[in-house]
Structure 1
């Protein structure tokens, strides 16, 4: 779970405790505030209800530029080992080898390569998601709390993003008659100006 005259977005992950990257020249720098950021993954269960995994830890940086509304570099890292669920059995299964296999693959990564504005404060960011060592195409629908034309790089901005993936594309094929194929991923995060 990404402007005004013409603005591009570049996001470079710091890693889960790693060092930051250089800011894109001519860009506004933002950092994802780890204390106000979360990711959820929701999947159908028995065709009647759903199960939700929560990923409370993610880090990254965002830079917005006036130069090119379609240019995007986006790399955000999500700590899969921090995965939480509604009960201990679900949490154990989702962390285990049938699903996220967090011991072998401790990170989920989104990399964006193209952004298309769809409204005054919304955009589609196309790129890839990597989970369980598998990389597949994905597109995030992103809503910003401010109109693109009002962003200056000096104010905090909230983003809400979502995408849908097929879990089988990432090798998560267990329990096909119980757990749905389509997974809806949502991201809510506060962006803090000039934060590494």
Structure 2
């Protein structure tokens, strides 16, 4: 009887240990060392770059290598900046972002998989202009310690491409005038919470 009780107790302990959860760590974006940008081609000859001045992002992970990370990002579409106020006003209008109806862009990852040489494949759902679609991105990571705060920091360069017409943005504008493909580039620094 004692042997049976010991076996049951051992099995129960092993089962409980296997269900033990590890506390997740939240990493917050350091906005003074981060930029969320995009590039689009004008008249098939020149690239126009832009960014969003107001955005927020967090990464939550239970693993130090980020292989189970969840990324949440939001950007204020009113904060679009291409270094040309007239163009920015046009982008905020109904022809493009229509910020009166769709003031926010969001991205939430569904998987964050380690690839090679510090690279990750990030899959998630992008909501832009009232449309939600899957978008795959590539992230390159570096780790370090901030000598001032002594906090662990992680830097990510995130790249990817979307089609503006997939999100209903200026669908009537021909690609010979404005490329359908838009490059996404984000350089971000996160501090361990």
Instruction: Tell me the TM-score normalized by structure 1.
Output: 0.77
The CA RMSD over aligned residues, in Å, is 2.3
In the aligned structure 2, how far is the partner of 1:36 from the partner of 1:111? 21
Deviations 1:40-90 (A, max 9, x none): 111111011122221122112212223997544322111111111131222
Distance 1:193 1:70, change over 3 A: closer
Does the CA-based 8 Å contact 1:112-1:128 persist in structure 2? Answer: yes
Is 1:178 the equivalent of 2:180? Answer: no
Is the 1:145–1:157 Cα contact (8 Å) retained in structure 2? yes
Name the residue aligned to 2:191: 192
Q: 1:158 to 1:70 in 2, by over 3 A?
A: closer
The number of equivalent residue pairs is 166
Kept after mapping to 1: 8 A contact 2:156/2:188: yes
Q: 1:54 to 1:91 in 2, by over 3 A?
A: same
In the superposition, the TM-score normalised over structure 2's length comes to 0.78
Q: Which runs of 5+ in 1 are unaligned?
A: 1-23, 148-153
Moved over 4 A (4+): 67-70
C-alpha separation in 2, matches of 1:187 and 1:68: 20
Q: Once structures 1 and 2 are overlaid, which stretch shifts more, 164-173 or 77-86?
A: 77-86
Is the 1:37–1:56 contact (alpha carbons within 8 Å) kept by the matching residues of 2? no
| Bigger Rg over Cα | 2
Q: What 5-or-longer segments of structure 2 have no aligned partner?
A: 1-20, 145-150
Q: What's 2:58 paired with? A: 61
Counterpart CA distance in 2 for 1:129 and 1:82 is 18
Q: 1:129 to 1:159 in 2, by over 3 A?
A: same
Distance 2:82 2:165 in 1: 20
8 Å Cα contact 1:98-1:174 kept in structure 2: no
Partner of 1:161: 158
